[in-house]
């Protein structure tokens, strides 16, 4: 079959990586795939001057030499619009299925003729959190007539509480089980936990940091590692002595996860939470709030679920995990590994195809 994916941009976000992986697996299965993305945003002369005055050289470098996103790096057929604005029917090939991946792309897709393919919406987030004023438009886009596929049960429930039943299928994300893998190991001599650091408040780095500080009151030698796309700031510092990896290569993530006895996930809002699954695949037990896929992945006792917005609850879980026996920890580690490795991107792609009606 012929598939077209619509993306507002090509970047290094988790949602874009998911599309790139689906495109690769569909191609490997013999299907034809095209990913269409909007033209990159460009800074106005005034914005460039303002960035120069601030000494914001990163923004200027990105403007003139943008880093390739996951689609470009994946090697899948990729069309980047030469014009600004919406993706139109003239920009996409005829296909059997066209899949929107963001609420605006669903609106654009709705105007396409039937020749561009049957319509599906791969829902990767309830996108009102980016702009509350856009909520009515986002909700209207979610109610457009198409096949709807959410990436987690939590996301489906969150949307349907606000919008009502939409007949969404759920196809969870997976991880690359060759990239994210680790040999059996024992607990570290020095207890070690890790988390993803980000400035955005919704990612909950402050919760993880505070939990580590509280846990250190009973485990003074607790080591903390973190990685992220933002440099630690004075407004949001890491725990004292933490080891930080800035934008590590994808090939290095496995070693970071596998250094830890536990991985922390404190996000205030997340549609899935790929680091949960990545850590589990590397035999690292996860302590998480019940956000995104955390409940589906950890709710059966595979990991530890703690109360939202509670560094105290997360700290107590860190202490319990780090003080557990090596035998108990290895049991948790093995269980996390088995859960993560029971479901691959090949499985997810097959479920995606099954969610698209045959006629």
d(CA 46, CA 242): 39
Map out the domains of the chain with their CATH numbers. 2-174+345-355 (3.40.50.2000), 192-340 (3.40.50.2000)
Q: What is the pLDDT along the chain (359 residues), one digit of tens a residue?
A: 999 999 999 988 888 999 999 999 999 999 999 999 998 755 445 545 555 566 654 454 554 455 678 999 999 999 999 898 999 999 999 999 999 999 999 999 999 999 999 999 999 999 887 677 889 999 999 999 999 999 999 899 999 999 999 999 999 999 999 999 999 999 999 999 999 999 989 899 999 999 999 999 999 999 999 999 889 999 999 999 999 999 898 899 999 999 999 999 999 988 899 999 999 999 999 999 999 899 999 989 899 999 999 999 999 999 999 999 999 999 999 999 999 999 999 999 999 999 998 76
pLDDT of residue 69: 87
Distance CA 3, CA 33 (A): 5
Residue whose C-alpha is closest to residue 175's, from 78, 259, 272, 101: 272
Are the CB atoms for 134 and 39 separated by under 8 Å? no
How many Å separate Cα 330 from the centre of its chain?
27
Which residues on adjacent β-strands are paired with residue 266? none
What pTM value is reported for the model? Answer: 0.83
d(CA 344, CA 340): 8
Retrieve residue 96's tokens. Answer: 């059997």
Residue 62: what pLDDT? 52
**Which residues lie closer than 8 Å to 78 by C-beta, 6 or more apart?**
10, 34, 35, 36, 37, 71, 72
Alpha-carbon gap, residue 2 to 26, rounded angstroms:
9
Q: How many CB atoms lie within 10 A of CB 232?
A: 17
* Alpha carbon 348 to its chain's center: 15
Distance of alpha carbon 55 from alpha carbon 48, whole angstroms: 10
Q: Where are the alpha helices (DSSP H) in the chain?
A: 14-28, 45-54, 57-64, 70-74, 103-110, 135-142, 153-163, 205-215, 253-258, 274-281, 294-298, 311-323, 326-340, 345-355
The answer to whether residues 336 and 286 touch, using CB atoms and an 8 Å cutoff, is yes
Say what the pLDDT of residue 60 is.
Answer: 45
Q: What is the pLDDT of residue 266?
A: 97
**Per-residue model confidence (pLDDT) at position 54:** 64
Q: What is the CA radius of gyration of the chain?
A: 21
């Amino acid at each position: 079959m012929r598939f077209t994916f619509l993306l507002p941009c090509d970047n290094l976000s988790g949602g874009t990586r998911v599309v790139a992986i689906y495109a690769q697996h569909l191609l490997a299965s013999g299907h034809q795939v095209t990913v269409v993305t909007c033209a990159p945003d460009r800074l106005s002369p005034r914005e460039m001057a303002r960035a120069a005055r601030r000494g914001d050289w990163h923004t200027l470098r990105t403007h003139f030499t943008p880093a390739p996103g996951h689609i470009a790096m994946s090697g899948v057929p990729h069309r980047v619009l030469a014009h600004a604005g919406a993706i139109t029917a003239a920009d996409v090939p005829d296909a059997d299925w066209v899949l929107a991946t963001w609420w605006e792309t669903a609106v654009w897709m709705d105007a396409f003729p039937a020749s561009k393919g049957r319509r599906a919406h791969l829902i990767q987030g309830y996108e009102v959190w980016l702009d509350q004023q856009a909520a009515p438009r986002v909700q209207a886009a979610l109610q457009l007539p198409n096949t709807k596929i959410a990436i987690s049960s939590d996301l489906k429930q969150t949307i349907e509480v606000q919008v009502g039943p939409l007949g969404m299928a759920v196809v969870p994300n997976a991880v690359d089980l060759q990239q994210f893998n680790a040999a059996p190991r024992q607990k570290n001599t020095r207890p070690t936990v890790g988390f993803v650091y980000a400035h955005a408040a919704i990612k909950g780095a402050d919760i993880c940091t505070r939990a580590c500080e509280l846990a250190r009151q009973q485990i003074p030698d607790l080591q903390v590692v973190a990685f992220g796309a933002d440099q630690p700031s004075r407004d949001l510092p890491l725990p004292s002595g933490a080891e930080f990896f800035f934008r590590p290569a994808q090939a290095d993530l496995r070693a970071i996860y596998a250094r830890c006895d536990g991985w922390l996930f404190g996000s205030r809002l997340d549609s899935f939470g790929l680091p949960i699954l990545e850590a589990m695949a590397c035999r690292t037990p996860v302590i998480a709030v019940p956000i995104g896929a955390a409940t589906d992945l950890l709710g059966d006792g595979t990991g530890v679920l703690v109360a939202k917005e509670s560094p105290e609850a997360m700290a107590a879980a860190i202490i319990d995990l780090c003080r557990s026996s090596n035998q108990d920890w290895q049991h948790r580690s093995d269980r996390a590994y088995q859960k993560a490795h029971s479901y691959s991107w090949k499985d997810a792609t097959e479920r995606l195809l099954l969610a698209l009606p045959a006629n």
